[in-house]
Structure 1
Amino acid sequence: MRQRRGERQEPPYHVVHKLPPGDTPYVRAKRLQLVEKDPDAAIALFWKAINEGDRVDSALKDMAIVMKQQDRTEEAIGAIKSFRGQCSKQAQESLDNILIDLYKKCGRLEEQIELLKQKLWTIYHGEAFNGKPTKTARSHGKKFQVTIKQEISRILGNLGWAYMQQGNYMAAEVVYRKAQIIDPDANKACNLCHCLIKQTRIAEARSILDEVMQGDMVGSNDPKSKARTEELLIELNSSHASPLSPLSAQESASSVEDALVQGLDHLMKQWTPFRSKRLPIFEEISPFRDQVAC
């Protein structure tokens, strides 16, 4: 039917529903995922898109995300490992991020930690963000810029959390302290406080929590941070453990260094012959042994 003069033209279907144009397996899968809300059928078509070479990068990432939402986590991990070789170099970083979330969801902590360390190595060698200082990320449909500094802090925060889930609070402490040097915020400070409480280093934990309660730290006025702070304060006030002696603290710091000798500290120091290529942010956070031992 011909449009009459003065009538407003309706936007195309794919524009209205924020879908890619066309009628390929990938496009149909996105329609099933976003419009018809049929995840199982969408997954089947994402599989078909991958097998037919139709937007493999996007099809694999989208399929893994839908599988995660359907609690098919192990299947999603297997799919990424099987087909990431068919994806472009530009897609690998996003696939790693999805894998980390999948490992976290199904409790595969060792693999999560290993991949997080691998991502730190990638940043350390200047290979993250395809060599650019920032990257464009999406959250809830909105685009925003992420800097290398923010990315390092995010990865360290995830690594600290994984160590906490293992009960390795000394390793988690080192990681959170490094993260706070780079990009401090209330959430990581609370986690650091928790690690210190678990090591019965009550005076240090109280000092960290006092900083959060002053309200000057990023995120300290967030309702979740306030609730967490109150929980930690109650835990501190009810704790009767004695703080570690200076000697014990140094021994703990030494143990942490040993635990991470092939992890973070190795990461920070290993590239000395190529120091000119090393990102400046790593120069800022390398000298750490004395700070931990204080």
Structure 2
Amino acid sequence: MMMMEGLKNKKKEESFHVIHKVPAGDSPYVRAKHLQSRQCPQAIKSFRHLCSKQAQDSLDNLLIDLYKKCGQIDQQIQLLKQKLRAIYLGEAFNGKTTKTARSHGKKFQVSIQQETARILGNLGWAYMQQNNYDAAEVVYRKAQLVEPDANKACNLGLCLMKMGRFDDARCVLGDVVNRRYSDLSLDESNKTVARAEEMMKEIEELRMKDEVSSVEEIMERLDVMNEWTPFRSRRLPIFEEITPFRDQMAC
């Protein structure tokens, strides 16, 4: 047990090291980075009222990213819900139907529909981190209705696997394996399909383990029944009724 906890703590430290690009360990510098990452959201919220209305959406995205890195899932979920509400009320994109976004130095247009699906996908993943798989499933399915997406389909499949609904997961992942989504480039599609195929293999392994466990459980119950069931004669009931009279006649 202690070994497992040690491995979890080590993994957590390694993930922080990767995210924040700092030396691993417990040095003052690393501790300062921990503190800095947790103080950043408060700092942003303290001065955001000084920023223009057009900058608020970018600040929200920055806060969501920081909450995710800091493990502040509740705050992340709350802000994602606020963004969805803003879209519902027509307040997103400053009243426009599209906005200009940047990724890897390139500009591109994002529609309200695409933004809604993206936020729903992030919300679903946040619920997954809380092991709230029921809520995650609902959100992922809404996202797929808004704009079908191969990556979110894989995440939905993972969510269903966590709930033990292997047949449903296979159905969702099957669409990815059969390349029924056209939202990805060829290279991205190959990676996503490979991920879906790996998950389907895992489903079969989990299913086999469940079947073995079920058989073992049945055998254990039979052993208990055999151990505690009182001895009964194998003769037919009619002979059991005749026996007392036969004994009386013998006397």
Alignment partners' CA distance in 2, 1:126 and 1:188: 25
Aligned length: 173
Aligned to 1:115: 79
Aligned to 2:206: 239
The higher-RCO structure (CA 8 Å, 6+ apart) is 1
Alignment partners' CA distance in 1, 2:195 and 2:69: 22
Aligned to 2:141: 177
Amino acid corresponding to residue 87 of structure 1 in structure 2: C
Could you tell me which of 42, 48, 62 is aligned with 1:78?
Answer: 42
Aligned to 2:108: 144
Instruction: Give the helix-richer structure, 1 or 2.
Output: 2
Q: Are residues 184 and 102 of structure 1, via their aligned partners in 2, closer, same or farther at CA, if it must alter by over 3 Å? A: same
- Matched residue of 1:143: which SS? strand
Matched, 1:219 2:184: yes
Amino acid corresponding to residue 197 of structure 2 in structure 1: E
TM-score normalised by length of structure 2: 0.66
Aligned to 1:209: 173
Larger Rg: 2
- Matched residue of 1:126: which SS? coil
Could you tell me which of 44, 67, 73 is aligned with 1:103?
Answer: 67
- Matched residue of 1:239: which SS? helix
- Matched residue of 1:136: which SS? strand
- Matched residue of 2:179: which SS? coil
Q: What are the superposed Cα offsets for residues 202-253 of structure 1, whole Å, 9 maximum, x if unpaired? A: 11111111111111213385243133213211211112258xxxxxxxxxxx
Alignment partners' CA distance in 2, 1:76 and 1:230: 39
Amino acid corresponding to residue 198 of structure 2 in structure 1: E
Contact 1:186 1:220 in 2 (8 A): no
Could you tell me which of 142, 149, 157 is aligned with 2:121?
Answer: 157
Contact 1:116 1:159 in 2 (8 A): yes
Aligned CA-pair RMSD? 1.6
Amino acid corresponding to residue 225 of structure 1 in structure 2: T
Alignment partners' CA distance in 2, 1:192 and 1:157: 9
Amino acid corresponding to residue 226 of structure 1 in structure 2: V
Alignment partners' CA distance in 1, 2:166 and 2:129: 20
- Matched residue of 1:231: which SS? helix
Gaps of 5+ in 2: 1-32, 212-251
- Structure 1 runs (4+) greater than 3 angstroms displaced: none
TM-score normalised by length of structure 1: 0.56
Alignment partners' CA distance in 2, 1:176 and 1:98: 22
| Paired-residue identity, % | 62
Matched, 1:129 2:93: yes
Aligned to 1:272: none
Q: What are the superposed Cα offsets for residues 247-277 of structure 1, whole Å, 9 maximum, x if unpaired? A: xxxxxxxxxxxxxxxxxxxxxxxxxxxxxxx
Alignment partners' CA distance in 1, 2:185 and 2:47: 42
